[in-house]
Amino acid sequence: MGDTALVLGGGGLTGIGWEIGLLHGLARAGVDVTGADLVVGTSAGSVVGAQLTSGVLTLEELYRRQLASAKGEIPATMGPAMFARYAWGVLRSRDAKAYGVRMGRMASAVRTVGEEDRREVIAQRLLSHDWPEGPRLVVTAVDAATGELAAFDRDSGVGLVDAVSASCAVPGVWPPITIDGRRYIDGGVHSSANAALAAGYAKVLIVAPIALGGGPLPTPRAQAARLTAAGSKCVLITPSREARRTFGRNVLDPARRAPAARSGLAQAAAHVAEVRRLWQD
């Protein structure tokens, strides 16, 4: 096990843009965290994690990519009504697995685009379709039938495109993804960050576009507190008020990706000192 872990949470297309903007801003200030020994990616974070660890583009190039036209994306809406359905599901679930089962049923009942169409979108987002050989990348998803958290990596026997497609399978918006006969939905159904997977690492940076939790789903702040209590040094970064404004009301709107990326870049300056202390201590 290594020393450093970078946890990248879920948050739609705006989450992808904001995370890359933030990481680019940190690196531009002399704090590059992309060499972490472990990268945990959930939903939006799985896309960012796969892009970072591919080694194909620099952070500056990834940032410029966020500012370009979001070609190939399928427009979708994730507004107040959808969030209300999720919140109601949380209130009626005794634990994260029960919530996963509930969301899996909903995802299987809603008509969406086909799995292959969704895989194609994810494939074009990724810079490489192979798992990285260097840093350990872990991509999270949830078994739609059992609610169990799945953590895919290069030793799991699951292809990277399939793993990231499953991690981004937002219930009610995108189809569950079939892998080895089982169907999987968004890893954010278990937790918006799944920072518990970084347990045992000395230094953990959690970048979480969604700061909320509730009921059986712990907030990123609660997860950071548990890691700290277990002996890790943690820094948690969530969107500023200004950043949240740029996200708008639909985090899946391709048009909001570029403004979110710019807001992440602008917010980075406020976190340079604390991340430098964490990473270089």
Q: For the domain 4-75+111-280, what is the CATH code? A: 3.40.1090.10
CA dist 260 and 59 (Å) reads 16
CA dist 111 and 175 (Å) reads 8
**Token pair of 228, please?**
């700290």
Does 93 participate in catalysis according to the annotation? no
DSSP state of 75: P
Count of residues in the chain: 281
Indicate which residue of 46, 162, 167, 186 is catalytic: 186
Q: For the whole model, what pTM was predicted?
A: 0.96
CA dist 126 and 143 (Å) reads 23
Q: Cβ(93)–Cβ(171) under 8 Å? A: no
Q: Identify the pLDDT of residue 70.
A: 79
User: By C-alpha distance, which of 46, 23, 37, 206 is closest to 136?
Assistant: 37
Residue 184: strand, helix, or coil: strand
Does 46 participate in catalysis according to the annotation? no
Q: Cβ(164)–Cβ(47) under 8 Å? A: yes
CA dist 261 and 64 (Å) reads 9
CA dist 81 and 261 (Å) reads 26
DSSP state of 238: -
CA dist 180 and 23 (Å) reads 34
CA dist 191 and 223 (Å) reads 9
pLDDT by residue for the chain (281 residues), tens only, comes to 679 999 999 999 999 999 999 999 999 999 999 999 999 999 999 999 999 999 999 999 999 999 998 788 888 887 777 777 778 888 888 899 999 999 999 999 988 999 999 999 999 999 999 999 988 999 999 999 999 999 999 999 999 999 999 999 999 999 999 999 999 999 999 999 999 999 999 999 999 999 988 778 899 999 999 999 999 999 999 999 999 999 998 999 999 999 999 999 999 999 999 999 999 87
| Residue 227, CA distances (Å) to 3, 125, 138, 194, 233 in order | 14, 31, 18, 11, 8
Indicate which residue of 43, 93, 165, 232 is catalytic: 43
DSSP state of 128: -
Q: Identify the pLDDT of residue 1.
A: 61
Q: Identify the pLDDT of residue 214.
A: 73
User: By C-alpha distance, which of 189, 115, 116 is closest to 150?
Assistant: 189
Bridge partners (DSSP) of residue 143 are 184
| Residue 233, CA distances (Å) to 33, 37, 197, 277 in order | 15, 15, 15, 10
Bridge partners (DSSP) of residue 140 are 42, 151
Bridge partners (DSSP) of residue 183 are 178
Query: Which one-letter amino acid corresponds to residue 255?
Result: A
